Every structure is written in C-alpha cells, then in structure tokens.
Amino acid sequence: MATATTTQNKKRSEGLNPYVLLFFILVLAAVATWIVPAGQYASETKVITVIKDGVESKVSSSYTVPGSYERLPEQHGVSPGHIFTSIADGLVKAAPIIFLIIFTGGALHLLEETGAIKKVLSNISKSKRLNDFLLISIFFVVFSILGTTGIVVNSIIAFVPIGLLVAKSVGMDDKFGAALVYVAAYSGFNASIMAPMTVGLSQGLADVPLLSGLGYRMVIYIAFVVAGIIFLTIYTKKCRSKGMVRPDIVVDDSEEQTAKISLRHIITLSYSALCLVGFIFGAVEFGWGEKEMMAMFIILGVGVGILNSMSANSIATGFLKGCAGMVGGAFIVGMARAIAIVLSDGMILDTIVNAIISMMDGLPKTLSTLSMFGTAAIMHFFISSGSGEAAVLVPIFTPMGDLLEITRQTTVQTVLLGEGVVNCINPTSGILMAVLATSKIPYTKWVKFIWPLVFAWVVISILALVYAVMTNLGPI
C-alpha cells in the first residue's frame, strides 16, 4: 500500500512532459484554424538601419501595414496530417539551434570526463569567500550583459549544463542551476539596452533615432537584474533553511573531491575558457551565430580530448555519448516551432492581433500604453520571436500612439517590455522548453518557481511605462 502511494506521488511530482504539453497546444492551434476567421494584414519590405558595436548596417525586414487587415473569403484550416508534418517542418527550420544543443552535450561530456570541472566546482562549494549571494551576483552580471547586448540569446542553452553543474556543486536543485544561467541572461535580454534585432529593429520600424533612450533602458535593465538576484538569493535561503536540498546532489567530501587541481586540469579549463571567449569575441566583431558556435564546440571537444591524452576512438565515443544525452532537450525546439507554423499556415495570427487591437480603441493615454504592453505580452505566446513580433506590432502601434500623443519611444518600449516579461514562462518558446527539457524540470514546476520574479518584472515595466507617458519620453 505504501509503495503504491509513493509511486502515485512520484508520478504526480513529475509533472506534464514538455512534449505532451506542446502537442496539446499544437492540436489546439490546429483546431483554432477551423474556428477563428482567417485574415491577414498587407505587408511591405522596409530597409532598417541597425547599429552593432558602433557600426551601422542595413537590414531588410517585412513589416505590417497599419489598417490593412482584411478577412479572407476562405478558411485555411489545418488538416490532422498537417499537424505532424508541421513538426517535421519545425525540426528542419530549427536545425541550427537543435544541433547547437546536441553539440553542446558532446563537448561538455568530454570536459566532464577529464574531472577538471568536478574539482573546480568542489573547491567553489567549499570556499568561504564565495557565498550564495556573491555566486548569484557574478552569474547575473556576466550573463545579463551578454543577454542585454544580444550577444548570447538563443545560444544560452549551451551554457545551461554549466549552471546545473554549479548548482550540484553547492547543493542546490536544478531550478537554481537553470536560473543561474538562463534567467540571468534573460533578465538582461528582457530589458534589452541595445540588442540589434529587438531594440534596433523596433526603433527602426518606428522611425525613432537608433539607440536613443539608452539611459531609460539602462535603469530598467538594472532593475530587472537586481530583481533577479534578490529573487534567486531568497529562494536559496529558503531551500537551505528548510532543508529542501535533494540528497542526491549533496557534494561528496571524499579525498578525491578535495584533491588539488592538477596542471593538466588548469590547462584544460583555460583552453575551454579561451574557446568560449573566442566565440563571444566573434559574435561581437563578426556577427557569429549558431553555426560558428557549433564549430567551436567541436574544436573544444577535440582539443580537450587531445590535451587529456584520449584516443581518437575515446573522443568520438565520448562526444557522441554527450550528444545522445541532449537529444530530448534539443528536439523540443522543433516542436515549439511547429506551433508557429500551424498558426501561420492557418492564417489566424493577424486575426488574433486585429481582435486584440480593436479592444484598445478609445482608451485614455496611460491605459492605451499599458494595453499595448499587455497586448505585446499576450501576442508573445503566439509569436515567440522578438523580431517577428516587432515586425507585426510596432507598425500598428506607432500610428495609434501618434493619435493619442504617446511618444514613439514609449510605443517601442511597450513592445520590448511586453514580450520580455513573458519570455521566461512562455510554453511556445523553443529556448525555454529546451532549457527545461535539458534540466529535466516540468513546465508547471518551473512556472510555480519563477512567477514571483515575472510578477516583479511586470510591476517594474508598468512603473517604467507610466513614467514614460508622464514625462513624454523622447526624443520622438
């Protein structure tokens, strides 16, 4: 009887498998294409100037024409067979991110086999100078800077296993480990200061001077990061005070664990750090993306193997073993992409946008601003791409704001903050779901864990937008 109860409780605690959750959403999206009237906005191509590292570049972007929405004479319902082919299409379109995740597993598995990471993290966990608050602050400052500048966004998945290892070394759970990297980076990206494909694109579409309002966004960014640090510090104290640390992740105090780091370990870790820093430099200077990061992980894995005198067969076997462990988390990205494909093929995305915008008609200035913010947050569940959402909403919001005498800088900020506050709870985000699958965290448990921080971000965003309306945030 006791065994049956334990098994039942275990099943309940596992939560809903992310693939099951996304498949339910996918089926609902397909059903909606038969119920929601099909319609679309006209679109035009506009050349936008964006600034990256002080260098201006031209980006061609398709954007929505305001007031051009039309109902289509025929429904574009998605067939049951198309539901499954959309999964295949999603996997193909998300291939760069999928293989990046898989290659991350291969390289990090080889690095773990050397024992270098285990020794360093063991020393960190026993360090009296590096307390929880300092550890959290360091991760949040470093990764939030990479996130707010747009250097590391989708590729943050590659760093999540490191966060999980750090969490294990200090006796914390996987939610802490995932947050240490993913939430740290997205606390910066959600309040982006200068990411080209969110801030740059949105300002370009609204004809706002590029990177204007930098000081205003800097204050919001700092507030988001500070809120994240406080949130995770409180969570850590709560876990430690209530003895909520899982017994399977308590650090081993054996002689092997406390042994000093060898010269070979130092060389291995230095080489690995050089590879990661090299990629960040390439991303900043040359616009490197997922493809170059995949190559970097291959170079990292092979180099680590050679430095530790592994045979060619051992390197290949270890790399493939690590890749195999990441397949489940990687394929979730394609599943999430399939939802967007179904909504797009069913021609109902623009209908949803038009219906929500129609409800905002006739509202006062401040309420209109907050409604734009709320609309952007809701639409991010349907359009999980930041640049894609900007291309749809900014051209529609801009003339509405002009009529209500809301500055275009404020209008842009409603979209940026609206999509930002839901990034860390969005079940249609391939990045979030891949992070959760990699960390083996059920979506429902993650939402229960992260909602206080998301609520804090919403409050900060509302205060920032009210201030923008009251001060007529400019220059336009």
Q: What is the mean pLDDT of residues 278-305?
A: 84
Q: What does the domain layout of the chain look like in residue ranges?
A: 16-32+83-244+262-475
pLDDT at residue 186, rounded to an integer? 95
DSSP 6-24: HHHHHHHHH---HHHHHHH
Task: Give the pTM.
Answer: 0.79
Q: In Å, how far are 126, 172, 299, 322, 442 from 249, measured between CA atoms?
A: 15, 7, 30, 20, 18
Q: Write the DSSP symbol of residue 193.
A: S
pLDDT at residue 57, rounded to an integer? 63
d(CA 334, CA 187): 24
Q: In Å, how far are 52, 148, 152, 322, 355 from 143, measured between CA atoms?
A: 19, 9, 8, 24, 37
Is the pLDDT at 251 greater than 50, yes or no?
no
DSSP 348-366: -HHHHHHHHHHTTTT--HH
Instruction: State what percent of residues in the chain have pLDDT above 70.
Output: 88
Task: Report helix, strand or coil for 429.
Answer: coil
Confidence of residue 6 (pLDDT cuts 50, 70, 90): very low
Q: What is the total residue count of the chain?
A: 476
pLDDT at residue 52, rounded to an integer? 56
List the one residue out of 30, 24, 20 whose CA is nearest residue 82. 30
- Lowest mean pLDDT of 2-6, 127-131, 307-311, name the range: 2-6
**pLDDT digit string, tens, across residues 39-49:** 988 888 776 66
- Lowest mean pLDDT of 130-139, 302-311, 313-322, name the range: 130-139
d(CA 343, CA 347): 6
Q: Give the tokens for residue 354.
A: 């038009």
Q: What is the mean pLDDT of residues 327-348?
A: 86
Q: What is the mean pLDDT of residues 93-108?
A: 85
d(CA 120, CA 397): 51
**pLDDT digit string, tens, across residues 405-445:** 899 999 999 999 999 999 999 998 988 998 998 888 999 99
d(CA 304, CA 107): 8
d(CA 169, CA 176): 12
**pLDDT digit string, tens, across residues 136-190:** 999 999 889 888 887 777 778 878 888 888 888 888 999 999 999 999 999 999 9
pLDDT at residue 56, rounded to an integer? 62
Is residue 87 within 8 A of residue 93, CB to CB? The reply is no
